[in-house]
Amino acid sequence: MHFLVPWMLFGALSAGIPVALHLLRKSKPTVVRWAPMEFLRKSLKETSKKIRLRDLILLLLRMTILILAALALARPSTLSLFGSGPVDAVILIDNSQSMSTLEGQTSRLDMALTSAKQLLGNLPTGSKARIISLTDHTVELSYNNSNESDAIASALLQIKPTDRSSNFYQGFANAIDLLKTSSFSQRKIFFFSDMQRPGWQNESSSFKTLVQNMPSSISIHMIRHGSDVDSNIQIMDFQPTAGIILANQRQTWGLTVRNRGIKPATGIKTTLGLGSDFDTAESAVIEKLDAGEERSITIDLLIPEDGHQIVKAVAGNDRFSRDNQKEKIVLARKKLQVLIVGAKSEIDANRDNTFFLYHALRSGSSDSSNSGIEVKVASGRGATPDTLDETDIVFMVDPMLAGSDSVSDGFLEKLETWVSMGNTLVYFAGSNYAAVSDSNIKNAGKFLPPANPTPNLTPTTIATENFPPVGWFNRFR
């Protein structure tokens, strides 16, 4: 016989409550003798033995009732988990990100693997087992006889922690499909997981339909590992507020932190720094973050060298440490590379129409060698496809799109790919743009929207006191 809810057996300890009450009431009172009570004393001596026997019987009955109640809640069963005969079992083991949460000194995944190994070792002779690791996709690891313990242990060792999310639907769908064609009378699915809600919610309606249409000969057994996490701090994202990272310049980064636990978290230390030198990273403290709350903070960071660098963010310290930190490989540039593509000015024949934009962008520093921006100008055929390889932002100031001095088709084709990769294009449409309104070149692929020139605009001058604080990128923006 075994118990379906064995932890309810602890309720049998409540049988000690009647004993404790009996002992507390057994204290002897102070005896005061006086004449009229002598008649009662003689009567009590004759009935005291009967009273003691009655109290003892009542005490035992009370204890028995409490013990039987605990046994009933524990749900005793004489049926074996595997019944009689061999079993065709599919073992689903959740190794999504949340399974790295610590329960004491052991992770939930290690607990699940230990339980699965014990279960596989207890399968009846002649049984078969498939082992499937399950995150948001499934990996089938083995199909073995249960007595091949070495092969099963090897399959379990292949299951490692991951940073993937959970989606249980596909794993159960695969398990049911595998068991539908089984010739075994006993077909069972065993699922070891911490049963996180997102894993069920992603395809909840499909999952419900799947279980409803499942053959009645297939049974599902779920084994949960892990307890609720009071507070679980997660780094959602972090990135520079300026968008582009410049080497050897102190820049502000925005970090988004969320509490995915069930209780508020306080005193959350959030740190941002280089992965190669995290000891010198800078920190900020979030005083309080309620359950489910998400908050953005800013921390300054200086990347001393250009090139690809690892930036690391860490927030808080809890049982589920895997999502407390996040790393990104970022590209730090020496300077922001800007390309301006224009044409001859219609107003001043001695200048290109890029003149004022070019000098406005270069005004960030009197010494261009110390400026954080490098501006290149090209007109018509001078804008070659290769120039885009080292360019961060392209300004097209109504360039020629047709004629002998027009922008080349090769440049426009590569520009479309360049923009689709997330780079920035700013296009000023004018008369040259309108002149080719019926041309295929006009849309330069598909990424340039239709536009019409807006003549007779009145220029606007911005007072210098309205400019942002000193800093080349602030002026550029």
In a domain? residue 256:
yes
- Given this model, what pLDDT does residue 312 score? 94
DSSP letter assigned to residue 438: T
Most confident of 55-59, 82-86, 467-471: 55-59
CATH of the domain at 119: 3.40.50.410
In a domain? residue 444:
yes
In a domain? residue 82:
no
In a domain? residue 166:
yes
Mean pLDDT of the region 92-108: 88
Same domain, 114 and 22: no
Lowest mean pLDDT among 77-86, 233-242, 424-433: 77-86
Does the pLDDT of residue 94 top 70, yes or no?
A: yes
- Given this model, what pLDDT does residue 457 score? 55
- Given this model, what pLDDT does residue 9 score? 74
The 10s digit of each residue's pLDDT in 325-382 is 899 999 898 888 899 999 888 777 788 889 989 988 887 555 555 567 889 999 888 8
Same domain, 212 and 91: yes
Which of 285, 306, 333 is a domain's end point?
A: 333
- The Cα 201–Cα 435 span in angstroms is 54
Does the pLDDT of residue 314 top 70, yes or no?
A: yes
Same domain, 329 and 340: no
Does the pLDDT of residue 120 top 80, yes or no?
A: yes
Same domain, 167 and 44: no
Mean pLDDT (the chain) is 80
Same domain, 318 and 344: no
Number of domains in the chain: 4
- Given this model, what pLDDT does residue 394 score? 92
Lowest mean pLDDT among 47-51, 262-266, 440-444: 440-444
Same domain, 109 and 128: yes
Does the pLDDT of residue 453 top 90, yes or no?
A: no
Same domain, 130 and 216: yes
In a domain? residue 119:
yes
- Domain holding 391, by residue range, is 336-476
User: Pairing mode, if any, of strands 233-240 and 250-259?
Assistant: antiparallel
Which of 54, 77, 100 is a domain's end point?
A: 77
Which of 77, 100, 133 is a domain's end point?
A: 77
The 10s digit of each residue's pLDDT in 151-181 is 777 788 889 988 888 889 989 999 999 999 8
CATH of the domain at 273: 2.60.40.10
Q: How confident is the model at residue 316 (pLDDT cuts 50, 70, 90)?
A: confident
| Alpha-carbon dihedral angle through residues 11, 15, 18, 21, given to the nearest 10 degrees | -70
Q: How confident is the model at residue 293 (pLDDT cuts 50, 70, 90)?
A: very high
Does the pLDDT of residue 102 top 90, yes or no?
A: no
- Given this model, what pLDDT does residue 390 score? 86
Mean pLDDT of the region 389-394: 89
In a domain? residue 58:
yes
Q: Percent of the chain at pLDDT above 70?
A: 79
Phi-psi region of 220 (alpha: psi -120 to 50; beta: other; left: phi over 0): beta
Same domain, 60 and 144: no
- Given this model, what pLDDT does residue 81 score? 59
Same domain, 39 and 104: no
Please answer whether residues 313 and 272 qualify as being in contact, where contact means their C-beta atoms are separated by less than 8 angstroms: yes
In a domain? residue 303:
yes
Q: How confident is the model at residue 29 (pLDDT cuts 50, 70, 90)?
A: low
Does the reported pTM lie above 0.95? no
The closest alpha carbon to 391, from 362, 415, 359, 357, belongs to 415
- Given this model, what pLDDT does residue 216 score? 87
Q: How confident is the model at residue 301 (pLDDT cuts 50, 70, 90)?
A: very high
- Given this model, what pLDDT does residue 475 score? 42
- The Cα 18–Cα 347 span in angstroms is 103
Q: Tell me how many degrees the CA angle 171-177-180 measures, rounded to the nearest 5.
A: 140
Same domain, 462 and 381: yes
- The Cα 339–Cα 376 span in angstroms is 5
Same domain, 123 and 193: yes
In a domain? residue 283:
yes
Same domain, 443 and 399: yes
Mean pLDDT of the region 430-447: 54
The 10s digit of each residue's pLDDT in 232-281 is 898 999 999 888 888 988 999 999 999 988 889 999 999 999 988 888 88
